Chain A
Amino acid sequence: MFAYKVVMVGDFATGKTSLIKRFVDNSFSEEYLSSIGVSISKKVLGNSTMMLWDIEGRTEFKPIFKQYLNGAKGFIIVADLTRKNTIESIQEHIKTSLSVVSDAPICIALNKSDIKSDFSVNIEQIKGLSANIISVFKTSALSGDAVEDLFKQLNAKIIKEIAC
């Protein structure tokens, strides 16, 4: 039996909460997000239980509350394919995450793939941002594209590391 914590990191309004909703079994009310800045969800995958911490997105005026990153076994960094600045923030999010847990695997979710973007994204370049990145996905919380794969791949990686 495994149980671990995964934190969703990203800028404000990149679709973290929607991705989680698409995927999980049970979650606390989103109201917690605005009150204490985090909402907890749970997903059972085989013999492991993934506790997903959906933390409040970073804005210009409010940094991420680093305390919530403690003890994470993996990170999902979410960016919005339609907002360039959210993609540019990925690097900083990686830095913040690794400053708390240096050896945690990271998955990048480029969300809102269902909406046509007016700029192109270099996936390989993003992948090269850190050795901790295991995959970069173009996801859509609306259609569900790549959502399952995103979480499952991260789960597989974490389980492998725990078992070692």
Chain B
Amino acid sequence: MAKDDKTLKDDEALLEAISPIVNELIDRNYINSKDKIAAQIAPLIGSAIRVQIKSQKDEVVDALYPVMGNMISRYVAKTFQEMLESINKQIQEGLSFRVIKRKIQAKIRGVSETELLLSQNANSNIRALLLIHKESGIVLAHAQNPLAPINEPEMLASMMSAIKSFINDWIEKNQEHKELGEIEFGGNKITIEDAGYSYFAIITDGPLYANSHKKIRKVLESIVVEHGDSIREFHGDLSSFSNMTIYKKISYLLKSESLKQESSKKIHPFLFLLPLILVFFIAWSWYEANKDAKLLTEVKQKLYTTPQITSYRIDALLDSNIISLRGEVPSKFHKDLAESKVSEILGVHGVKNELIIINIADDPMQISSNISYLLQGFNLSYNSNISYTYNYPKVELKGRVSSESSKAKLLASLKKIDGVKEIKDEIEVVLEDIKTTIYFDKASSEIKDSEMDKLIELASLLKTQESKFFIAIDGYSDSSGSSEMNKKLAISRAKEVEHFLKNRALVSQTLKAQGRDELPLELGIDKDSQEARCVIISWKK
């Protein structure tokens, strides 16, 4: 017992004696081999922290809080900034279909538009996620969007690791302890989320949204906590990573519909122009239709006012400024005439002549139409009023004409109409009433100026009459004075009128001038009336 006490005392003395020396040695060793000690302790610290996090997470959080506090505040600030940028971008997009769609969705779901906008921001556009072993650049696990896969993830991972080492080496040379965070190429982006022995490379179309980034950090955190040892000790055997938990965790970040949703949200700029194009199209169509209608009216008018084809039923159709003529005409002449007349119209770019030449002689409707057209012209020219009845194949004509010649002309023209085979002529030839009385002064046979007008009017009427008729020019005188004298005056007056009509007015009918030894009783005048001094011109019966 005494011996034990002695040994204990000796030990204590020894400890007291060498303690300063040992402490000195440790300090010196620490100063001289700082790097070596750090390298030896480093893996232990990592493992120790991981074990601590697993067992007493809250305690670790408390310990790290002063450091983490700063990081969190920076992270929150960054997240807010990203969110604001995203919201600003959406606002700037203005009145797009997407905005309208969102407004409707918000109404239907009964949530505010802002809430919906925030939830939309959470949708990811991730193409692939690679969990990469930091040291070797080997892909430990990966998941990619089936709608937009990437080629050769292993090659990409190695290349990423090479680029990372290349850049990190340069940064370390500048004594800044920072890591490469992002690589952008075209519209794509690779975001790097670093852990101890591994890192995540997230390949996205466009920027990585704040919410996605948050989720990715969370997943990486859980992978590191659960599989940290396997990652640290990775030597090339992937079987320890082939279990489904890691893959499931990564795949969770990649909901295929999210990318689909993103791409479906991208509306082609053409769609924004669609309403404008539609308005232009309607306006243009209206203008074209109006223009077409105007042109078509002009064409139809032309066909109607061309006498030779007026009576034929010709349809005109318009398509792209090309006129199609359809219908039936009796000859090539009519067909060509219709085409040439329509071609002359400004705005017609071409004529499609589909007129059919047919023998329309036996078409009662066409025959009747032709007769009607002929009579309209005749009645207008000759101031007559001939009407017709057409009972196939007979034409019955009724009315009056003033001369045989015009009647003959009408009948000849009617016979020229194809299909007219029989004409029943009930046309009366009624001569125009030409009876005119020219008055003279007492004892004079000179035609007064006031009477000259009557004679001129008569002369022009006679010119429309046939030459074969005779005209009686009867001169009269009053009963005053000698009978012989009156006789002379009567003949002289008649001759004067005859002379005028024959030599000056050049009438073609045969004139018979004579002096009448009587009063013009037909006028119902008195014997002494000055009105008896006259010449009466009429048809000679």
Contact = CB atoms under 8 A, between A and B. Distances in A.
Given A1-B238, A4-B136, A5-B137, A67 B159 contact: no
Interface in B218-239: 235-239
Interface in A70-103: 70-73
Interface residues of B, number: 24
Interface of B: 133-139, 152, 154-155, 158-159, 162-163, 165-166, 168-169, 235-239, 242
Contact of B136 (A1, A32, A42, A73): A73
Given A51-B138, A70-B136, A2 B162 contact: no
Contacts of B237: 1-2, 162-163
B159 A2 contact: no
Contact of A53 (B139, B152, B154, B158): B158
A26 B136 contact: no
A26 B238 contact: no
Contacts of A32: 159
Interface in A26-57: 26-28, 32, 36-38, 40-42, 48-49, 51, 53
Given A38-B162, A40-B158, A163-B237, A5 B242 contact: no
A1 B239 contact: yes
Interface residues of A, number: 30
B165 A72 contact: no
A67 B165 contact: yes
A63 B165 CA distance: 16
Contacts of B166: 36-38, 65, 67
A65 B163 CA distance: 12
Nearest to A164: B235
Contacts of B159: 28, 32, 40
A48 B343 CA distance: 83
Nearest to B168: A67
Given A42-B155, A71-B135, A71-B136, A53 B236 contact: no
A73 B138 CA distance: 11
A3 interface: yes
A158 interface: yes
In the complex, the 8 A-B pairs of residues with the closest C-beta atoms, listed nearest first? A71-B136, A71-B135, A4-B236, A67-B165, A5-B136, A1-B238, A162-B236, A40-B158
Contacts of A53: 158, 162
B161 to A, nearest CB: 8
A81 B444 CA distance: 157
A87 B152 CA distance: 35
A68 B165 contact: yes
Given A5-B158, A68-B162, A71-B137, A42 B152 contact: yes
Nearest to A38: B162
